Structure 1
């Protein structure tokens, strides 16, 4: 069982706290009113970030770029912040789109939009020169882009997930959108998608179903179908599970139950694609009857942070250090994956509607 060591309140009463990230010796959190705040984990009363109006409305996503820089997005586009000064370094966007999702790796930043007209868009910038978009994919999704992630070691791959039921993998080395669309996985409305190993992907839907799937390579001669493992509805596999916060490729999953005011962390081996149910950690009381929005664990420590719709961030001490997994750092593209390009044709129907009180791709 974990122990709650400290609780911080959001800038404004009633704000939902949506995303968390570690910066320096502390953390930063985003809110439903467009604010950013954070504190030191060493001196819990010492502010790290305090920006009341970072965006005009709810911050839909936030990514830590490095110890001093974060990126955020909302209805007024994407902004890059220096956490040391609280200043905005750059504002990105096309002036018309509500950005819902972000991904960051090295100097690259990607943003995904809400559906506008017939399509939702994915754009990529080089943060060393944000005056121009490096890549744009405007025809590949037909509903909100809710998740984005760069491959951590094969830096020509970018993955996007959408409420249209598709996970797309783009090869950023290709000149146009049709050629760049390397792979499409059809499964269900995407809550999150991650590269859990160099050649495997996890997809978690808004209906709490989980899929593990191969990342295709470019060897089109061997017509071998990609391997996938549909784990079904995770609410049926873990007791007291009403919703899944996320499957974190660093080595854990988090899930909760509003009705019983419970939150749990279960260790996860991405290489074996196995959850250690015998080692499930309970976080008693969690965020009461409110939805937990994010859970992060500081690697090689017992420190864990959670946030939720009760306007709070909580610092927990876990009973033991979780094993940390990492794919590696970005490198030049190499062919290490051994499955051919293949696009699924059929979407998977959702098993049931989400049981928690909000659909999590709409943060307000």
Structure 2
């Protein structure tokens, strides 16, 4: 086990009794946060108290989701709200530069974006027996260019694009399904290239180009091969971890984090006031490497951690939670030089000092 220590904390100047839902990268060296006061704020990675409010009221009925929209020099962000709108924000200008709306004002619960195809996607709450995955081209946003309306029959809680194929989108829902679509196909039945039945989806996404993970609201976790209709090779069997709370010694799972060193499960324990980042490794088969977990002692006290970001640039881990704080974490001084920083691009670089021979487990 290795340890990260808290190096900074900030309430982002939020009003008392508010908490922070999600943090996401904005421009290099800065992050965005959405909070229970419905604001959109930007904070500096090096000084968490350096905060600017982009919008005190992001969405009229409450903000639900946040994603970065990569677009060259201008940092852009996408938010979704319960009034059925998706907004594209220009961080430097400090305002929304685009606004689109779902049919019948269906509340937006999840968003995704692909700057390469100028696309914003929204996943909606179930409304009038219909949950919709809606796509807009930001160059002509007057109406959705594509909608999938039959693939889910409950709230759509997750959307994610494939890491290298801009035409492939994954969705997850409380109906228990994780779907994968070829978005170049307008016919919904033909566009659906893979369906995974997992259980009420809290988070899902791509671990790699050929691997999908799913995490349910009751902490069931699984890893599945992403099928390739053009490759007849036999796919490996999925790995089902079932409820991971007992084996990981946690009360809840925040999310899966993809860092430079690979994937980590962020697992929280309110009683012990800690958060663990547990490596998920694929050799010889998918398993949790608990001997090399990173512990964040104290975490957010006895409050739930809501979002974790591994920042390679600053080699720091950022967390936010229901205590209303963002916290920054770095490895404890004196950590083993051979240990991989979960937020770093390589091994932790520390001055070498003479020391006695000691046992190393690897």
TM-score where L is the length of structure 1: 0.83
- CA 1:80/1:323 → structure 2, altered by over 3 Å: closer, same or farther? closer
Q: Which residue of 2 aligns with 1:3?
A: 5
- C-alpha displacement of 1:304: 1.0
In structure 2, the residue corresponding to 1:2 is in which secondary structure?
Answer: strand
- Contact 2:303/2:321, CA 8 A, preserved across alignment: yes
For residue 143 of structure 1, what is the aligned residue in structure 2?
154
CA distance in 1, matches of 2:277, 2:226: 27
Partner of 2:174: 163
Q: What pairs with 1:1-364 in structure 2 (closer than 5 Å)?
A: 1-10=3-12, 11-24=14-27, 25-66=29-70, 68-76=75-83, 77-94=85-102, 95-106=104-115, 107-219=118-230, 222=232, 227-239=237-249, 241-250=250-259, 251-269=263-281, 273-299=286-312, 301-319=314-332, 321-322=341-342
CA offset at residue 4 of structure 1?
1.1
Unaligned runs of 5+ in 1: 326-364
Count residues in correspondence: 323
Tell me the alpha carbon deviations over residues 82-138 of structure 1, each in whole angstroms, 9 at most, x when there is no partner: 111210011112251100001122222211001102121101122233223121011
Q: CA RMSD in A?
A: 2.1
Asked whether the 8 Å contact 2:181–2:194 carries over to 1, the reply is yes
TM-score, normalised by the number of residues in structure 2 = 0.83
Q: For the residues of structure 2 that align with 1:237 and 1:58, how far apart are their CA atoms?
A: 36
SS at match of 2:208: coil
In the alignment, the residues of structure 2 paired with residue 296 and residue 135 of structure 1 have an alpha-carbon distance, to the nearest angstrom, of 31
Structure 2: distance between partners of 1:285 and 1:58: 30
Deviation at 1:274, TM superposition (A): 3.8
Name the CA distance, whole Å, in 1 between partners of 2:81 and 2:150: 21
Superposition deviation, residue 257 in structure 1: 1.0
Offset of 1:324 from its aligned partner? 6.7
- State the SS of the aligned residue for 1:178: helix
Shift of 1:303: 0.8
Secondary structure of 2:194's partner? strand
Q: CA deviation at 1:140?
A: 0.9
Is 311-320 or 17-26 further displaced after alignment?
A: 311-320
Distance 1:322 1:223 in 2: 33
Answer whether contact 1:103 1:150 (CA < 8 A) is retained: yes
Q: Is the 8 A contact 1:242 1:256 kept in 2?
A: yes
Partners in 2 of 1:90 and 1:179 — Cα distance?
Answer: 31
Unaligned runs of at least 5 residues, structure 2: 333-339, 346-362
Distance 1:155 1:121, change over 3 A: same
Deviations 1:251-300 (Å, cap 9, x if unpaired)?
22211012222111123346864432112122121111111100101025
